[in-house]
């Protein structure tokens, strides 16, 4: 029951991310979003999800995963209701920001539940495989449901659907986690919480603004520099002044935590390139409808789900490095093939084949990286280590979205007619080549791990 709850929460978070992407055109048309403003329906969620993750992880350790999971589910469900009933762009963006906070409370708590409930390497690996596969199911369901709901009912139900799901999960959490550890009696490091959360959120905000402004412009450099300075202050506070730091820096001495988080930072860009930009390619270049694009991504989601479970079974025997190297090879081959697609490509040879390869790579690497980054969490630090791992993935995804979108837009603009399918395809092809480079970088970083290191 505990594992089913953790998987269901992960399912809902990923479902919400993927289901919104396919509804964006309808959302923009009905509420009157500008093209720039519409991006904040995605970015507002990513901003607070990534920025508040460390705080959510530490809170799970101090107050107990049960309390934080219930609180996160409640915040997520209420903000989903507000988003579904929104009548103005500002209301919907605010609801998405609140959803991100709820998700940042939920996600580390689910990892803390897994780490404290499954202590054996084999059992923990299988639990991570199921948790990762549930994300694949959520992505698959979101891709199909997003197009179907938007086309057949209303985009509002892509948010409202979270309300009954959240209500059921709150009841399950109250029952199944009744005997879970309730947390430790320690004060919350408020200075660290404020500087760390503000630093991450401000840095992510600056990076996101690069999509609309140049990297050297004041709207980008101002928040980015401020975010870096806040994170420097956060590091000094944690190292010198905090008696019970929100982010104990000694955790970075654990090789799995440091290297695993670094690889997850790179992996965030790969996930964005795979799901977000492939959806745009299908709709803007090949002319698919939202529903057709969702169905077009379903085979890759199924492949990811299956491979993630298989990789979890292999992990205790092979170790982290072998699976990461195999996954990186799939990234290089799949994204390299996908980068050859153009406006005249067919779906099967231009998109289906390469995305299946990339999905195999994601299935091999994602549960492996999460296990590597959290396996050696000390007693009482499962929440913060899980929060750190997911923060790395979210920051990587936010930065990846900004960098890759900027590169795609600049490339398309250099074509004779920047808004034609051929011009857009050129931009997306560059994105896929850059994603292949991220796969190579993950392979190189993985060499810092022992060949058969414990996962």
Own/partner pairs for 239-242, CB < 8 Å, 24+ apart? 241/191, 242/189, 242/191, 242/192
Both 229 and 338 in one domain: the answer is no
In a domain, 453, yes or no: no
- Shared domain for 125 and 193, answered yes or no, is no
Alpha-carbon gap, residue 75 to 263, rounded angstroms: 30
Q: Which of 158, 188, 450 is nearest to 324 (CA)?
A: 450
Q: Please check whether residues 180 and 239 belong to one and the same domain.
A: no
The domain boundary, picked from 199, 225, 245, lies at: 245
Rounded Cα distance, 194 and 168, in Å? 32
Residue 410 CA to residue 214 CA, distance in Å, equals 11
Same domain, 209 and 82: no
Residue 49 lies in a domain: yes
Tell me, what's the pLDDT at 122? Answer: 77
**Shared-domain flag, residues 141 and 265:** yes
Q: Of 200, 226, 245, at which residue does a domain stop?
A: 245
Q: Would 321 be classed as within a structural domain?
A: yes
Question: Given this model, what pLDDT does residue 337 score?
Answer: 96
Contact (CB, 8 A) for 100 and 46: yes
Is 434 inside a domain boundary? yes
Q: Quick check: is 452 in a domain?
A: no
- Residues 256 and 333 occupy one common structural domain: yes
- Looking at the structure of the chain, the number of domains it has is 2
CATH of residue 317's domain is 1.20.1250.20
Residue 381's pLDDT is what?
75
Q: What is the pLDDT of residue 350?
A: 93
Choose the final residue of a domain: 245, 265, 293: 245
CA angle 121, 381, 58 (to 5 degrees): 135
Residue partners of 117: CB distance under 8 A and separation at least 6: 2, 3, 127
pLDDT at 15: 78
Q: What is the pLDDT of residue 361?
A: 95
Are 90 and 224 contained in the same domain? no
Which residue ranges in the chain fall short of pLDDT 70?
A: 18, 35-36, 136, 139-140, 143, 147, 178-186, 211, 380, 415-419, 450-455
Q: What is the pTM of this model?
A: 0.78
State how far the alpha carbon of 255 is from the alpha carbons of 189, 236, 439, 446, 448, in Å: 25, 22, 20, 11, 8
Same domain, 279 and 385: yes
- In a domain, residue 454? The reply is no
Same domain assignment for residues 30 and 156: yes
User: Count of residues for the chain?
Assistant: 455
148 shares its domain with 84:
yes
Position 416 scores a pLDDT of 55
Q: Which of 139, 131, 95 is nearest to 113 (CA)?
A: 131
- Residue at token pair 């789900």: 305
Q: Which of 168, 132, 161, 136 is nearest to 23 (CA)?
A: 161
234 and 359 share one domain: no
Supply the pLDDT for residue 455: 44
Enclosing domain of residue 229: 189-245
Do 57 and 156 lie in one domain? The reply is: yes
């Amino acid at each position: 029951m505990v594992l089913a709850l953790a998987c269901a929460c992960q399912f809902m978070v990923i479902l919400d991310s993927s289901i919104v992407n396919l509804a964006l055109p309808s959302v923009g048309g009905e509420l009157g979003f500008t093209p720039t403003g519409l991006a904040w329906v995605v970015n507002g969620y990513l901003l607070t999800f990534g920025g508040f993750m460390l705080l959510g992880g530490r809170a799970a350790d101090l107050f107990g995963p049960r309390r934080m999971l219930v609180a996160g589910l409640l915040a997520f469900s209420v903000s989903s209701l507000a988003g579904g009933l929104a009548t103005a762009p500002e209301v919907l963006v605010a609801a998405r920001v609140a959803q991100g906070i709820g998700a940042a409370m939920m996600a580390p708590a689910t990892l803390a539940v897994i780490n404290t409930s499954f202590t054996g390497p084999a059992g923990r690996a299988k639990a991570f495989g199921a948790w990762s596969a549930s994300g694949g199911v959520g992505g698959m369901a979101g891709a199909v449901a997003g197009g179907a709901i938007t086309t057949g009912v209303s985009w509002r139900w892509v948010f409202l659907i979270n309300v009954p799901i959240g209500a059921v999960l709150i009841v399950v959490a109250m029952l199944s986690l009744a005997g879970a550890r309730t947390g430790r009696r320690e004060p919350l490091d408020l200075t660290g919480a404020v500087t760390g959360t503000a630093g991450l959120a401000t840095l992510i905000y600056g990076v996101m603004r690069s999509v609309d402004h140049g990297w050297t412009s004041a709207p980008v450099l101002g928040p980015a520099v401020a975010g870096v300075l806040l994170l420097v202050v956060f590091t000094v506070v944690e190292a010198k002044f905090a008696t019970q730091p929100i982010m104990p820096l000694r955790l970075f001495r654990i090789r799995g935590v440091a290297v695993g988080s670094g690889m997850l930072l790179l992996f965030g860009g790969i996930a964005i390139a795979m799901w977000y930009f492939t959806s745009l390619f299908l709709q803007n270049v090949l002319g698919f409808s939202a529903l057709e694009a969702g169905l077009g991504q379903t085979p890759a989601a199924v492949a990811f789900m299956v491979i993630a479970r298989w990789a979890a079974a292999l992990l205790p025997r092979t170790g982290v490095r072998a699976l990461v190297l195999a996954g990186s090879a799939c990234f290089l081959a799949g994204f390299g093939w996908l980068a050859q697609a153009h406006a005249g490509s067919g779906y099967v040879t231009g998109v289906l084949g390469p995305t299946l390869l990339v999905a195999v790579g994601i299935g091999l690497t994602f549960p492996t990286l999460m296990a590597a980054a959290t396996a050696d969490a000390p007693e009482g630090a499962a929440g913060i280590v899980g929060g750190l791992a997911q923060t790395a993935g979210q920051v990587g995804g936010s930065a990846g979205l900004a960098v890759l979108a900027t590169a795609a837009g600049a490339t398309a603009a250099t074509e004779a007619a920047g808004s034609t399918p051929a011009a857009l395809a050129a931009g997306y092809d560059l994105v896929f080549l850059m994603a292949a480079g991220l796969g190579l970088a993950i392979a190189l970083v993985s060499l810092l791990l022992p060949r058969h290191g414990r996962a």
